Structure 1
């Protein structure tokens, strides 16, 4: 939202954005080696604790990014879906938050709607972020105070003031609950398997509202968070609070993304519909 920021923080964010954007694009090239349009990935597939899939492509991208970004940002913390968590990150002011392949299930079945997501966190909030969709050839990026862009062109969330008739992306049960709480009709968008891509579609105006169930982790949303903020949108929990990162727990409750003009209506409806899923 082009919020006035300290010049030193803005310069740090811009420098970080340049580095993480190039890293995300090159990481995407690593992942594409095993991606097969409309077919099963050539990568090996395993099941992680909790039942979610992980491929050798996820792990290869994670290794590449950790080596490159570790060299580019020495002394900063690291948090990735595919790396064992090191809680020493809690003592650091700056943190890289990485999802090597957001939307692994899409990746392994040949659906192009997956992304490499990277955020640079300063004092608990993202100041730079990139969501790169290699198979779609799309790169969303933002640095604090500098606006958001898609493939270099400025983007902005929708400015609609009324929730009635809004196009909403997310679990159908959540769309229905939000509509019921607001006592209105909402249009449910086709499912977008990558949560990061679902959220940035709010940033570019493709969706009016994006929803996430109470299971998202920092790496799923941090990269999109700053892109939303700089595009005139909010990402909040069911209590109406913005998110903070680099906590001991990486998991969030139900989340909502939307243009700022919808804030009063959405926050009221969210508290009624998902208040018990805020923690």
Structure 2
């Protein structure tokens, strides 16, 4: 039986994070039950229906629980949206992060939920139902994997580093696509290994866990980047734009790195 929905409007952020983790795990079970064979779509419309069905199955469990946890918080309806939010509290959720992988029978997918307060992510959960891993972070409270503290890589030589990038969204503007392609070429020249796949959140949890050394993306949605931005920051990493400026949700690029390779990554991406 699913756990009861309990309103916690007066809860501390630490208490909220505990309850948020439970809610995301419960929704993850619904998404895992749907995972298995390959969904072959003959048209774009068929693919979109399959993706929407996954979103709806997870959101049906997740949304009422999060709204009960924080009744006054707003809800971002579209996970592909970017930019600055109005003031106040917002739930930024991707109920099926890496959804296209899920429907094609690939394992790189999960769920993310982040509470944003005045455009600052304050707590987040990224859950991977196939492995059972749950990544959590709270501003000022550190980043954790299943309760164990996370710390970013100690790598100081980009030439020894594993780096990654991701496609921000389908049908991206041609100029952005060409910019991505050029950046991958430059990273092939400077880094040890370059990984290119979706979704962004799975790369970012790997940066926070010290498994890879840098992740970059041009453009991007809040639901793609806010969970990982908080996880990486709380694990001791650096967040900026690809040219080294402070990052904000409306920025046109994003870079998350271990501190020791940040300057080199900026140099590569601005060459």
| Same fold, judged at TM 0.5 (above) | yes
Find the aligned partners of 2:186 and 2:230 in 1 and give their Cα distance.
27
Q: Structure 1 residues 205 and 70 mapped into 2: Cα distance closer, same or farther (>3 Å)?
A: same
Partner of 1:277: none
Find the aligned partners of 1:240 and 1:102 in 2 and give their Cα distance.
27
Q: State the SS of the aligned residue for 1:168.
A: strand
Unaligned stretches of 5+ residues in structure 2: 1-10, 167-179
Over residues 46-67 of structure 1, what are the superposed CA-to-partner deviations in whole Å (9 max), with x where a residue is unaligned?
A: 957xx79623121121232221
Partner of 2:14: 14
Q: Is 1:28 aligned to 2:28, yes or no?
A: yes
Aligned-residue offset at 1:76: 1.2
After TM superposition, the score normalised by the length of structure 2 is 0.79
Partner of 1:229: 233
Q: State the SS of the aligned residue for 1:30.
A: helix
Q: State the SS of the aligned residue for 1:55.
A: helix
Q: Structure 1 residues 229 and 76 mapped into 2: Cα distance closer, same or farther (>3 Å)?
A: same
Q: Structure 1 residues 226 and 82 mapped into 2: Cα distance closer, same or farther (>3 Å)?
A: closer
Over residues 61-97 of structure 1, what are the superposed CA-to-partner deviations in whole Å (9 max), with x where a residue is unaligned?
A: 12322211112111112114369x8x9x944321111
Q: State the SS of the aligned residue for 1:117.
A: strand
Q: Structure 1 residues 12 and 175 mapped into 2: Cα distance closer, same or farther (>3 Å)?
A: farther
CA contact (8 A) 1:142 1:227 kept: yes
Partner of 1:186: 192
CA contact (8 A) 2:188 2:194 kept: no
Equivalent runs, 1:240-279 vs 2, <5 Å: 240-245=244-249, 252-270=251-269, 272-273=270-271
Give the alignment partner of residue 201 of structure 1, picking from 206, 213, 238. 206
Q: Structure 1 residues 62 and 143 mapped into 2: Cα distance closer, same or farther (>3 Å)?
A: same
Aligned-residue offset at 1:35: 0.7
CA contact (8 A) 1:34 1:41 kept: no
Q: How many residues align?
A: 245
Over residues 16-72 of structure 1, what are the superposed CA-to-partner deviations in whole Å (9 max), with x where a residue is unaligned?
A: 311221111011011112111xx2259x99957xx7962312112123222111121
After TM superposition, the score normalised by the length of structure 1 is 0.77
Q: Is 1:143 aligned to 2:152, yes or no?
A: no
Q: Structure 1 residues 80 and 178 mapped into 2: Cα distance closer, same or farther (>3 Å)?
A: farther
Q: State the SS of the aligned residue for 2:95.
A: strand
Aligned-residue offset at 1:223: 1.2
Q: Structure 1 residues 242 and 12 mapped into 2: Cα distance closer, same or farther (>3 Å)?
A: farther
Give the alignment partner of residue 52 of structure 2, picking from 35, 52, 55. 55
Unaligned stretches of 5+ residues in structure 1: 1-10, 274-279
CA contact (8 A) 2:97 2:199 kept: yes
Find the aligned partners of 1:29 and 1:185 in 2 and give their Cα distance.
37
Aligned-residue offset at 1:217: 0.3
Equivalent runs, 1:93-172 vs 2, <5 Å: 93-170=88-165
